[in-house]
Structure 1
Amino acid sequence: MTSNADKKWMGGIHLGSKVEIDLVLQQLCHAFNHAPYFKHNEMQMRVVDGQIEAYIDMQPFMVGNVAFQILHGGVAATILDSIGGIVAMGELYKKTEVADLPDTIKKVTRLATVDMRVDYLAPGRGQYFIARAETLRLGRKGCTMRMTLVNDADKAIATAIASYAY
């Protein structure tokens, strides 16, 4: 039996139906955007040119270094981890055939970060930040993603590589 909470993370798709990837990506973003943590930080997932990206405005409570007014490293790590996970979910749906949908739904609902390494490349200065992810490996039991966070000048602030299990 699937709960209503699980249906949100499944992209609102139904067993036996064809996966409409654009709709699934929008629904995954909707589910993330309504999570309490994302709402609190006003972090947004959105679909741009068929890909999910994360967006966040710089806000006073996100400053980690008061003297230099730069983004806290924990905020950067959180948005990188989040974009890695949601893009991995989308990639799982993209390669799903109708017959494999139950297995994909199970993977998406169980997806969890196993390990993540963040490299901070530049001070987190900017009016807003955007994070994007790419798949390095998508396997049967897990995946590896590479994520990048840029500021409003498109300068790379941080990168990460993470492993997710499902």
Structure 2
Amino acid sequence: MSHIKTTWTGQLKIQAETSLTDILQQLCDAFNHSPFLQHNGIEMRVVDDQIQGHLNMHPNLIGNVAYEILHGGVAATLLDSLGGVVAMAELYKRADEHHRAQVLKQIERLATLDLRVDYLTAGRGQYFIAHAEVLRMGKKSCTMRMSMQNDCAVNIAVAIASYVY
């Protein structure tokens, strides 16, 4: 457990000269150390200065054995985790250099308040990619919209979540 605590988001190395890409990569690295996300094969990546969630399909992720489709809980985990890490990144993006210490505390406390997932079609594919966007950023909470597509660019699921910080 001590390894997780020392690599989690409260331990970001942010200085005045730290680039946005470096911050995004540090957030991804912190999430990628999560044992639960590792167990499910979920990985956060920085692509074109945006954080994306990635998941390769594996037999242990099948929820419906008869149809061999992705378990809905794994899809929800990908969407929720991505929404959280993108919210953290957005908090940092909006902070000026005088408020970075406060932002680090908000990032460390961020937690899901509410999550709604709509499953649009069966979770079939070799891999899945998720994207997130900010709907609203407030002083104490935010609302995010996430979507997940398969390797054929078919929308598998969408979600809206609220996070408190």
Provide TM-score, normalisation by structure 2.
Answer: 0.93
Number of corresponding residues: 162
Q: Is the aligned partner of 1:35 residue 2:28?
A: no
The letter for the 1-side match of 2:100 is L
| Structure 2 residue aligned with 1:12 | 12
For residues 10 and 165 of structure 1, what CA distance do their matches in structure 2 show?
Answer: 16
For residues 19 and 144 of structure 1, what CA distance do their matches in structure 2 show?
Answer: 26
Q: Relative to 1, partners in 2 of residues 1:152 and 1:61: Cα closer, same or farther, differing over 3 Å? A: same
Contact 1:19–1:93 at 8 Å: present in 2 too? Answer: no
Moved over 4 A (4+): none
For residues 72 and 105 of structure 1, what CA distance do their matches in structure 2 show?
Answer: 33
Report how far residue 17 of structure 1 moved.
2.6
For residues 28 and 92 of structure 1, what CA distance do their matches in structure 2 show?
Answer: 12
Contact 2:8–2:31 at 8 Å: present in 1 too? Answer: no
Q: Which runs of 5+ in 1 are unaligned?
A: none
Report how far residue 7 of structure 1 moved.
6.5
Contact 2:10–2:108 at 8 Å: present in 1 too? Answer: yes
Q: Which runs of 5+ in 2 are unaligned?
A: none
Contact 1:6–1:109 at 8 Å: present in 2 too? Answer: no
The letter for the 2-side match of 1:97 is D
For residues 132 and 34 of structure 1, what CA distance do their matches in structure 2 show?
Answer: 20
Report how far residue 21 of structure 1 moved.
1.1
Deviation by residue 1:43-96 (Cα, 9 ceiling, x = unmatched): 110000110000010010111111111001000000000000000000011111
Q: Relative to 1, partners in 2 of residues 1:139 and 1:18: Cα closer, same or farther, differing over 3 Å? A: farther
Contact 2:82–2:131 at 8 Å: present in 1 too? Answer: yes
| Structure 1 residue aligned with 2:22 | 23
Q: Is the aligned partner of 1:58 residue 2:57?
A: yes
For residues 98 and 11 of structure 1, what CA distance do their matches in structure 2 show?
Answer: 17
Report how far residue 129 of structure 1 moved.
0.5
Q: Is the aligned partner of 1:79 residue 2:56?
A: no
| Structure 2 residue aligned with 1:132 | 131
Report how far residue 5 of structure 1 moved.
3.1
| Structure 2 residue aligned with 1:104 | 103
Secondary structure of 2:66's partner? coil
The letter for the 2-side match of 1:36 is P
Contact 1:10–1:28 at 8 Å: present in 2 too? Answer: no
Q: Which moved more, 1:85-94 or 1:34-43?
A: 34-43
1:111-130 aligned within 5 A = 111-130=110-129
When the two chains are superposed, the root-mean-square deviation of aligned CA atoms in Å is: 1.6
